[in-house]
Each structure stands twice: as structure tokens, then as C-alpha cells.
Amino acid sequence: MLKKFLLTMGISAGVFVVSVLAHNAISAWFGMEEPVFFTIAVFLAPAAFLVGAVGSIVVLIKRLRMAK
């Protein structure tokens, strides 16, 4: 389960970077605002990162409690 949460964190960080670059590239090349990649970068990727971080912390705490 920990692997899935860590993978979620990694993928969301990558998606954030790609979305920011795509939004800026489309805005620069075509001179128009593009809301899809902006929304992904501002709302979806950080939310997924937060889910992965909280899930990882919960799994680690459960493992530590079970080890005692």
C-alpha cells in the first residue's frame, strides 16, 4: 500500500511540472489562455500529492504501531 501512495506522489509531481510547461507553452505559442492544464497544475496535481503524502504517513504510523 505504501508503494501506491508514494507512486501517487511521484506521478502527481511529474504531472504538475508537465501541466505548467504545457500551459505556458500554449499561452506563449498561440497567445490564448488555456484553462485545462492550468486547472490540473493548480488543483488536481497538488490534491493528488496531498493524498499520497497523507496516505504514506498513515501507512508508516500503522507499521510503527504494529512493530511495537
| DSSP of 18-30 | HHHHHHHHHHHHH
pLDDT at residue 67, as a whole number: 86
The per-residue pLDDT for range 34-50, each reduced to its tens digit, is 999 999 999 999 999 99
pLDDT at residue 46, as a whole number: 98
CA atoms within 13 A on the CB side of 6: 5
Domain boundaries, the chain: 2-67
pLDDT at residue 68, as a whole number: 77
Residues of the chain with pLDDT under 70: none
pLDDT at residue 64, as a whole number: 93
